[in-house]
Amino acid sequence: MYKVVIIDDEPIIAEGLSKSMPWEEWNCRIAGCAYDGKEGLALIRRECPDIVISDIHMPQMDGLKMIAALKSEFPNMQITILTGYREFEYARQAVSLGVTRFLLKPSRMSELREAVDAMTGRLAEGGQGGAEDAKEASEAAGEDALYNNAASSFLVKKALEYIRENYKEKLRLVDVADQIYISQWHLSKLLNRHTGQNFSEILNGVRMEKAKELLKDPSLRIYDIAEMVGFQDMAHFSRVFRKLEGISANEYRNKIL
């Protein structure tokens, strides 16, 4: 029997959908309803449902990141978006990330039934025994299924964007993972698989590129530059710069000037 989770910040919609659809016709049962994105993610990770029907435009939640996180972590999970957000490009990206159906509110019962038909059909074709089993199988097989898809690429892109925008801060792997709704363990695996580098190497690389730009300004002290790119320890900055560039920051400045 397929497990279903419904997420909508309008409880009347979530509860109504859970009770009005004849779920037993598709060999489905409702595993739970949630009323915001954060609660929904917690419910999904706890229940490992096969099917998720969710609003995508909820407070404090980036819908596209949520979809990508789910499809990366649960590659066989079927997702239908039910939303009042009518931006075509948004819908196109959602579908490219692996969403089965993108339905606009208010949706007709026939549209909802067709969406469930499509999701259960895909699950049956895959011959998988549930999202939890599929996740465990992919992990046992070297986790390849978690990475070779558009959702994982999307997450890595968003993670790198966040690093480039916040490299000056005291940035940790968990801070970046929280922004894209996945665990730091999962993000670490994704970064390594897609870039060949770990989080520290990526962050230091971004910081050094910014430092090299700042070194072109002779009015800036190297100590100040180190602080401006996120290093609180001058000695640490010096070690990283020499490791990546082969020369000291001062030698680099003299060379380019």
* Strands ordered across the beta sheet of 78-83: 28-34, 2-7, 51-54, 78-83, 101-104
**What is the mean pLDDT, run by run of 10 residues, along the chain of 257 residues?**
93 92 96 90 93 85 85 92 81 88 89 95 74 47 52 94 96 94 92 96 97 95 96 95 95 90
* CATH number of 2-144, picked from 3.40.50.620, 3.40.50.2300, 3.40.630.30, 3.40.50.1000: 3.40.50.2300
Same fold yes or no, 2-144 and 201-256: no
As to burial, measured by CB atoms within 10 angstroms (0-12 exposed, 13-18 middle, 19+ buried), residue 116 is buried
> What's the confidence (pLDDT) of residue 59?
73
Query: Do the Cβ atoms of 111 and 100 come closer than 8 Å?
Result: no
> What's the confidence (pLDDT) of residue 112?
94
Amino acid at 62: D
The set of residues, in sequence order, having a beta carbon less than 8 Å from that of 99 and lying 6+ positions away, is 67, 79, 80, 81
Question: Which pTM was predicted?
Answer: 0.79
Query: Do the Cβ atoms of 8 and 35 come closer than 8 Å?
Result: yes
The set of residues, in sequence order, having a beta carbon less than 8 Å from that of 89 and lying 6+ positions away, is none
> What's the confidence (pLDDT) of residue 95?
87
d(CA 235, CA 227): 11
Is the backbone peptide bond immediately before 106 cis, with ω within 30 degrees of 0?
Answer: yes
> What's the confidence (pLDDT) of residue 2?
97
> 201-256, superfamily in CATH?
Homeodomain-like (1.10.10.60)
Bridge-based pairing of strands 51-54 and 2-7 is parallel
> What's the confidence (pLDDT) of residue 126?
78
34: left (phi over 0), alpha (psi -120 to 50) or beta: beta
d(CA 124, CA 135): 16
> What's the confidence (pLDDT) of residue 131?
54
> What's the confidence (pLDDT) of residue 217?
95
Q: Tell me phi and psi for residue 51, to 5 degrees.
A: -130, 135
Sign of the CA dihedral with 189 first, then 191, 194, and 197 last:
negative
> What's the confidence (pLDDT) of residue 143?
41
Q: How far is CA 31 from the centre of its chain?
A: 23
Q: Tell me phi and psi for residue 104, to 5 degrees.
A: -95, 140
> What's the confidence (pLDDT) of residue 149?
78
Beta bridge partner(s), residue 79: 52
Q: How far is CA 223 from the centre of its chain?
A: 36
> What's the confidence (pLDDT) of residue 142?
40
- Annotated domain spans of the chain: 2-144, 201-256
